[in-house]
């Protein structure tokens, strides 16, 4: 199930409640979204109807306007590489926090969660090998997540 379809199933009001609770309990790391609050208040649909039986429902592009109108600072549009970089930087930082805070004991536990719970491709071995191979772990955390040689791509002949 695509993420926006799941969000629509759970309900934006539930998402807003969770976000407000996280903000209350954990502070600025989880800022409340004025755009999400407006989406809930106006009952704006998140996804469009399916284009056919068995086809996923797509996010309604109109929701972008709700967030743009309720943004304090104008957002700079990101290209594909910019979106990927922002997501990988945030994921790497969050994985580092989870390991530092003892939420999980090993990077392999993160990998298992991402494979079983977030649909990370099993054939990729998990997110941690990917972050090590692409240099994100070293760039963001200052070190690899896994020991050298573990899940590395073999060097050429």
Instruction: For domain 80-141, give the CATH number.
Output: 1.10.1040.10
Nearest to 62 by CA among 50, 78, 46: 46
Instruction: Delimit the domains of the chain by residue range.
Output: 3-69, 80-141
Residue 36: Cβ-neighbour burial (10 angstroms; 0-12, 13-18, 19+) = buried
Average pLDDT over residues 9-14: 92
Give me the pLDDT at residue 141, please. 98
Give me the pLDDT at residue 91, please. 95
Give me the pLDDT at residue 157, please. 66
Identify the H or E element spanning 98: helix 80-100
Name the band, by pLDDT with cuts 50, 70 and 90, for residue 112: very high
Tokens of 50: 């399916």
**Which one has a higher pLDDT value, 155 or 111?**
111
Return the SS3 of 59: strand
Contact (Cβ atoms closer than 8 angstroms) between residue 128 and residue 108: yes
d(CA 123, CA 130): 11
Q: In the chain, how many H helices and how many E strands?
A: 8, 0
Give me the pLDDT at residue 13, please. 96
pLDDT tens-place string over residues 34-85: 999 999 999 988 898 888 888 888 888 888 888 888 877 767 778 899 999 9
Task: Share the mean pLDDT of the chain.
Answer: 89
- 50 phi, psi to nearest 5 deg: -65, 145
């Amino acid at each position: 199930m695509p993420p926006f379809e799941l969000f629509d199933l759970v309900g934006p009001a539930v998402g807003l409640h969770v976000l407000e609770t996280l903000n209350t309990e954990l502070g600025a790391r989880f800022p409340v979204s004025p755009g999400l609050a407006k989406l809930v208040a106006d009952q704006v649909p998140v996804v469009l109807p399916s284009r056919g039986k068995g086809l996923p429902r797509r996010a309604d592009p109109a929701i972008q306007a709700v967030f743009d109108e309720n943004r304090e600072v104008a957002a700079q549009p990101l290209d594909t590489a910019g979106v990927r970089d922002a997501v990988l930087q945030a994921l790497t930082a969050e994985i580092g926090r989870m390991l530092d805070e003892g939420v999980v004991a090993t990077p392999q536990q993160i990998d298992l969660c991402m494979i079983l719970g977030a649909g990370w491709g099993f054939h990729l071995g998990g997110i941690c090998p990917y972050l090590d191979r692409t240099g994100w772990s070293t760039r963001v955390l200052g070190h690899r997540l896994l020991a050298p040689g573990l899940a590395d791509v073999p060097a050429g002949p």
